[in-house]
Amino acid sequence: MSDASEPHRVIRASEIGQYAYCARAWWLSSVVGAPSANSAELGRGAAMHRRHGQRVWLSRALVIAAAALAGLALVILAASIIAR
């Protein structure tokens, strides 16, 4: 049970994965605060995740834009048929 004066700490999914892979490594980084021996690889992984997130955002924006343009095309088509 935690002390009421301690703030609640959010446990991230990556921490659970790290704990499942190696509880000692999780303890060293999360509790002791020891730096990771592979910080360069972690930095590259974080950059890859950022780039992937940007690409996902862009693809969603493009899908929304395509749907809006298709809707606009239907409105123009309907207006041209009605105007005949």
pLDDT tens by residue, 35-83: 888 888 989 999 999 999 999 999 999 999 999 999 999 999 999 999 8
Q: Do you know the residue count of the chain?
A: 84
Residues 70 and 59 in one domain: yes
The token duo for 39 is: 């910080």
Residues 82 and 44 in one domain: yes
Residues 27 and 46 in one domain: no
For the chain, the domain total comes to: 2
1 has a pLDDT exceeding 80 = no
Please tell me the number of Cα atoms within 13 Å of 68 on its side-chain side.
6
The token duo for 81 is: 């048929």
Where does the pLDDT of residue 3 fall: very low under 50, low under 70, confident under 90, or very high at 90 and above? Answer: low
Whole-structure pTM value: 0.54
Which structural domain range is residue 71 located in? 39-84
Residues 43 and 83 in one domain: yes
